[in-house]
Amino acid sequence: MSQQGRDEDPVRDVDSVPDDPSPVADNDVVHTTGAPAEPSPSASAEEPSTKRVDHGVTPGMEIASAWAWRFLVIVAAVGVIGYGMRYLSEVVVPVTVGVLLTALLVPVTSGLQKLRLPRGPAAGITVLATIVVVAGLLTLVGTQIAGQFEDLSNQVGEGVQRLRDMARINFGLTDEDITNLFKQVREQITSGGALGQQAAAVGTTATHVVAGLFISLFCLFFFLYQGEQIWSWLVRLFPRRARDKADSSGRKAWVSLTAFVRATVIVALVDAIGISLGAAILGLPLVSAIGILVFVGAFVPVVGALISGVVAVLVALVAKGPIIAIIMLAVVIGVQQLEAHVLQPFLLGRAVSVHPLAIILAIATGVVIAGIVGALVAVPTAAVLNAIVNHLAGNDVDPEPPRRPLPRRRTQPLSDDPEPR
């Protein structure tokens, strides 16, 4: 092109532009002679993907709605699980009791196995020994109550007479008012419909207790005998990518549950021995029964200790009078303070630390779902859930327990395996 043509054409052609050290960006528009600028293909391709319809919803509302529907899904899932546990409580509760007994009695079975005894017979001997011990304790309590029933009934009669005297002096009630009140209570209890309903309820409860006892014993035997195989089968139900995490969470929960159960048994023994010694020194009746009641009540934190302590104080009040009852109350408070502030922190440590509010809520939930047995298993369940959540969140306070490789059963070569789920 001549110099004249370049002077007359102020807009240069693209092909005539010499090499420029600064490259032209993809989004820059280069004008040609007499032709309008056209957008680049890349810009036209990206325009539909970045275009967004404005619905008039603020970002804060979008975030709140995202949190809201996820929260509703979680609440619905928890509600379905809770309803299922309540509906199947006659199976869930015995299985849970079997798991707790397994956590307590595994060392016994392992010790028998170290004596060259096969795993199956060792588990059977452990279950039979547990039945014998429990039956012996119940027999001891029944024998003591039967032997001291006459004296205790006389003492209860004296206590009732004292209460009547106090009501007459302090509240101005006459003997006739008190007698009429007792008659109304007796008529209410012995009425036909109420008595029949109570008898039916007692019969149904007894049937459920017996059935649950057998389920717990069967679960205890098989958990002791084939616990590792059962756990491996449960882990294989998870997707392959989640099996390692499920296995480590289960082992962490088992360590926490074992520590909780053993520490609770030691604390219960200390409470029972301390309060029983105090009752024996004060000369109270039913010392063994009080000790066993305190031992069982110690498995229900806060509530169990309160109820067992009240029973011990009432026995002292009926048998020996108010002064001995006050001394017994001091003994109960002293023993419970010792186990609450010294034994439990020392034995449980940080691995099973659960907030007191969580304990109270767990006990209340257990009572609603399964009554007394639900209260017994509520706190260890809360401890296990706490350990699992902390482990999945990466907040473990103790090192992870040793890993055991899961047995793999393969019937096909690796190339024929389906893709990971």
Paired strand residues for 35:
32
Q: Of 217, 193, 219, 339, nearest to 275 (Cα)?
A: 339
Burial (0-12, 13-18, 19+ Cβ within 10 Å), 208: middle
In a structure prediction context, what are the per-residue pLDDT tens digits for the chain, which is 421 residues long?
444 444 444 444 444 444 444 444 444 444 444 444 455 554 444 455 556 666 677 888 889 999 999 999 999 998 898 788 878 878 888 888 889 899 989 999 999 988 888 989 999 999 999 999 888 887 877 777 777 666 666 666 666 676 667 667 666 666 676 677 767 766 665 554 554 555 455 556 667 778 888 898 999 999 999 888 999 999 999 898 888 888 988 888 888 888 888 888 888 888 888 888 988 898 887 788 888 888 887 777 666 777 888 888 888 887 777 888 889 889 988 888 887 777 766 766 655 667 777 777 877 877 777 677 677 777 788 888 888 888 887 776 555 555 555 445 544 444 444 444 4
Dihedral sign for Cα 346, 350, 356, 361, please: negative
CB 90 within 8 A of CB 212: yes
